[in-house]
Amino acid sequence: MSENEIVNATPESEQAEEKQERTPFDQFLYHQRRAMEEVSKAINALLPEGFKTHGAEAHKEFQSGMKVLLEAAIAEVEKIARRAEKAAEEGGEEGEERPSTTGKVKVKVQVE
């Protein structure tokens, strides 16, 4: 018996128990996952090797570009947060609380 046969050899009773433990929905998901794997292999077999190579490189470049963009956005958000914290600290040191306003125009409220 070869090494692969030993590894893959499981008693039928264990396989039957595994199938019984899975719910019908789990079995459905298993078969759908296997179907998608096979479709992926079929499409992969249709594509030329050069397409796969260039597609993989394009994917890497896209990821690199997105990483740079996200890191720049994070840096800007952190910069704005530091500025806001600094402004809050400077405003808080004076000890003056600014009154709540509705803007430059005062609004009269009638209370009955």
Q: Is residue 11 part of a domain?
A: no
- Angle made by CA atoms 22, 24, 30, in degrees to the nearest 5: 70
Number of domains in the chain: 2
Domain interval for residue 85: 49-92
Same domain for 82 and 55 = yes
pTM value > 0.75: no
Per-residue pLDDT in tens (0 to 9) along the chain, 112 residues? 444 455 455 555 555 555 568 899 999 999 999 999 999 999 999 999 999 999 999 999 999 999 999 999 999 999 999 999 998 888 765 555 666 666 677 778 888 8
Residue 97 included in any domain: no
Question: Rounded CA gap, 85 and 69, in Å?
Answer: 24
**Residues 53 and 82 grouped into a single domain:** yes
Does some domain include residue 27? yes
Please tell me the distance from the alpha carbon of residue 17 to that of residue 20, in angstroms, as a whole number. 5
Note whether 53 and 29 are same-domain residues.
no
In a domain, 109, yes or no: no
